[in-house]
Amino acid sequence: MRPEILNPLFCMLDTIKGIGQKHFKLIANLIGGTKIVDLLWHLPYNLTDRTYTCPISKIKTGRIWTGVVRVVEHLPPQKKSQPYRIVCEDETGEIVLNFFKYYKDSLKKQLPVGCEKVISGKTEWFNACIQMNHPDYISEPENFDYIKGVEPIYPFCAGVTNKMMRWYVKQSLVKIPDLAEWCEPGFMKSQNFPSFKKALEKAHNPLVAQDVSPTAPARKRLAYDELLANQLMLAIARGFHKKKEGRSFQSSGVLRKKLFDVLEFELTDAQKNVLQDIINDQSSPYQGLRLIQGDVGCGKTVVAMLAMLGAVECGAQAAMMAPTEILAKQHFETIGAWAEKTGVKAALLTSKIKGKKRLEIFEGLKSGNIDILIGTHALFTDDVHFKDLGFIVVDEQHRFGVEQRLKLSQKGNKPDIIVMTATPIPRTLVLTRFGDMDYSKIDELPRGRKPVDTRVMSVSKVLDVMKALNEKINAGTRIYWVCPLIKENEKSDLAAAVARFEALQKIYGSKVGLVHGKMKENEKDAVMEHFKNGDIQILVATTVIEVGVNVSEATVMIVEQAERFGLSQLHQLRGRIKRGNQAGVCLLLHGDKLSNTARERLNVMKSSEDGFLIAEKDLDLRGGGEILGTRQSGMEEFKVANLEFHKELLYTAHKDAQIILNADPLLKTERGQALRVLLYLFEQDSAFVNYKA
Ligand code: ADP
Ligand code: MG
């Protein structure tokens, strides 16, 4: 339950005076939230200094001036092109207000002759007098002090002016309660941090330009608070998980040895190390949750298999979840063959497997007859019951969040879990998204892998490229021809892919196949099968082959409209032709009109095969959420923190979260109670719900 003290901040926005239905919708859309606290996270990005004031005769024109004036007379325009003019004065001189767009009546009402008003706006010298076009403010003299300040400028949307925004925020700021301090006093002092309440007030009332910079102390304080909440939540999720008693699988390695005896390669050192990490997780009495990161082709599958054998050796079952049916099938081919040679029973379960066969699998899982189950997320539907599931592998699945991970860990009998991903993840993202997990990296490719010869060329060469494939085809090579398929242009993209398929078919006949996301699963499978066994040598594909597909004879890849892909995505794609020991060729075809940035990006692909470096460049160009595909999956970005500026704060928050929970694992001390409030404040309480206090 959210602490009561926070209730005023979690009221709906329309409880604020002035926010009606219309503004409610507009603002909610703008700030991505419907509560008062969401408005408070909406910080100004700039400011307008209205502090300059003096008698009219002393005005230095060109600046924004604020002052109290008396209306002398209205001068309606003689010609259409002229503005409506209103002459005003003080004891020292005159200023003329010009209105180019106006309603005469409302001007008369707003500025009746003889009244006093405070006005603020940019002044200029024109026609031998001081003028102001469309004052930013026209208000009662008693508002002079409010207006004659520094005005924060908010990111705004059509329909809500900055003035209104400011007014709404002002009403929201007074609702901030005095909260017990959760920051460590020494740290606060060293960073020059104000209290939380002061920090928010300050962030919304900047005085100088530095105050709206992400490095201003008030902003840093809020960013730190947010990052601390995030890191605490992850650490709690992790502690909760770890503390959950697990099982201790002490495998001696007899099954692993059997597999080693039949493997046609030696593990790389990196594979060995990561395998050892997992074996340690299995033998520890806690439930393991580990992220395994390794570039495409580094050999994650065999590590997963060896790890699964550890659990199986101890009499438990293991399951491996792949993101697509094709990948599940492919894993089953590899792993099923290995299982057979090791004397272990593996099975495949996808939504396509129905009827009697499905029931047989359910039976085998219940009886314990099946040791290893491969499948899609269908694996974890309610009607699947394991006899004793002790180990779970999630493959290529970086798109799932903390809550899903928690859910998964509740399946089976306190299973250890590994999540494998080929996406190189920068440290900041590891901390903020996967901070609840242990982390291992396979940072080495098997020996003998040849670099891919990547070339960037214009699509105008496409006919030459098509013809040049002849030689490769005669040599038995398999070729991927990738066409983009993006949701927004699905129809035209698909048409382009089909057209390419037909054009290639004219030259190479039945050697050409097509596979795309709109096809039925069994049609896709059939095409992939033909491509694997060589009946088909050119596979025209939309990005369905993006992750994991393994055809070691494939050494050539052509990507059309390569500029439309993300760099990491291209890297994953290119990984498909690096499976064997043959050097691959990758042609990136781009449209005729290529921007400089686009060219630069494609050149990164040409010059590097280091997934990590490519990901960093991609991050520079597109932001973290894009890399992990989290934008689509709705995982939120930070509200205040910006890792471009607050990396160091993240590392600090990470360490602080550890220290805090080590000393006060249940957040029971006085500071612990304050930190609970912080978690609710930033809505990082999801892991907390399960946290028995
Ligand atoms: P990924 O990490 O991208 O999932 P895979 O597990 O599919 O990679 O492995 C890619 C290919 O490399 C497979 O054909 C696999 O058999 C092979 N492989 C894995 N480990 C080694 C190794 N140590 N030496 C040689 N080949 C290996
Ligand atoms: Mg893989």
Q: Are residues 414 and 494 in the same domain?
A: no
Q: Are residues 347 and 300 in the same domain?
A: yes
For residue 151, the SS3 value is: strand
Q: By alpha-carbon position, which residue is closest to atom 16 of ligand 1?
A: 299
Task: Please say whether the beta carbons of 561 and 499 come within 8 A.
Answer: no
Task: Please say whether the beta carbons of 438 and 418 come within 8 A.
Answer: no
What b-and-e string marks burial along 135-150, b requiring 16 or more CB atoms within 10 Å of the CB? bbbbbeeeebeebbbb
The reply to whether ligand 1 has any atom less than 6 angstroms from the CB of 293 is no
Cα(470) to centroid(ligand 1), Å: 29
Among the listed ranges 47-61, 175-189, 202-216, 560-574, which one has the minimum average pLDDT value? 560-574
Q: What pLDDT is attached to residue 388?
A: 93
Sorted by sequence, the CB contacts under 8 Å of residue 177 that are 6+ apart come out as: 5, 6, 8, 9, 197
Answer yes or no: is 229 within a domain: no
625: pLDDT confidence band, cut at 50, 70 and 90? very low
The reply to whether ligand 1 has any atom less than 6 angstroms from the CB of 328 is no
Q: What pLDDT is attached to residue 399?
A: 59
Reference 574, options 612, 547, 537, 539; nearest CA is 547
Mean residue pLDDT across the chain: 88
Q: Are residues 458 and 557 in the same domain?
A: yes
Which CATH number is 117's domain given?
2.40.50.140
Q: What pLDDT is attached to residue 61?
A: 93
Answer yes or no: is 279 within a domain: yes
For residue 297, pLDDT beyond 90: no
Torsion of CA 5, 6, 10, 16, to 10 degrees: 60
pLDDT tens by residue, 501-555: 999 999 999 999 999 878 887 888 889 889 989 999 999 998 766 545 678 889 9
576 or 217, which is more confident: 217
Which CATH number is 559's domain given?
3.40.50.300
The reply to whether ligand 1 has any atom less than 6 angstroms from the CB of 301 is yes
The neighbour count for residue 197, using CB atoms within 10 Å, is: 13
Q: Are residues 262 and 380 in the same domain?
A: yes
Quote the domain boundaries for residue 77: 51-148
pTM of the predicted model as reported, rounded to 2 decimal places: 0.69
Answer yes or no: is 381 within a domain: yes
Q: Are residues 57 and 40 in the same domain?
A: no
The neighbour count for residue 412, using CB atoms within 10 Å, is: 21
Chosen domain end from 608, 631, 647: 608
Using CA atoms, how far apart are residues 432 and 654, in angstroms rounded to an integer? 9
298 or 413, which is more confident: 298
Answer yes or no: is 664 within a domain: no
**What share of the chain has pLDDT > 90, as a percent?**
62
Task: Please say whether the beta carbons of 466 and 507 come within 8 A.
Answer: yes
The reply to whether ligand 1 has any atom less than 6 angstroms from the CB of 441 is no
655 or 488, which is more confident: 655
Most confident of 33-37, 382-386, 595-599, 613-617: 33-37
Q: What is the tally of structural domains in the chain?
A: 4
Nearest ligand to the CA atom of 296:
1
Q: How far is CA 614 from the centre of its chain?
A: 17
Q: What pLDDT is attached to residue 400?
A: 59
Using CA atoms, how far apart are residues 381 and 241, in angstroms rounded to an integer? 22
Q: Are residues 513 and 528 in the same domain?
A: yes
Q: What pLDDT is attached to residue 644?
A: 78
Reference 462, options 607, 571, 591, 577; nearest CA is 591
For residue 605, the SS3 value is: helix
Answer yes or no: is 159 within a domain: no
Residue whose tokens read 């097509």: 514
The neighbour count for residue 45, using CB atoms within 10 Å, is: 14
For residue 242, pLDDT beyond 70: no
Taking the CA of residue 268 as reference, the ligand 1 atom at the shortest distance is: 23
Using CA atoms, how far apart are residues 60 and 54, in angstroms rounded to an integer? 9
Cα(345) to centroid(ligand 2), Å: 21
Q: Are residues 74 and 128 in the same domain?
A: yes
How much is the average pLDDT of 283-292? 89
Q: Are residues 571 and 475 in the same domain?
A: yes
Chosen domain end from 608, 627, 662: 608
Residue whose tokens read 């398999």: 478
Q: How far is CA 569 from the centre of its chain?
A: 15
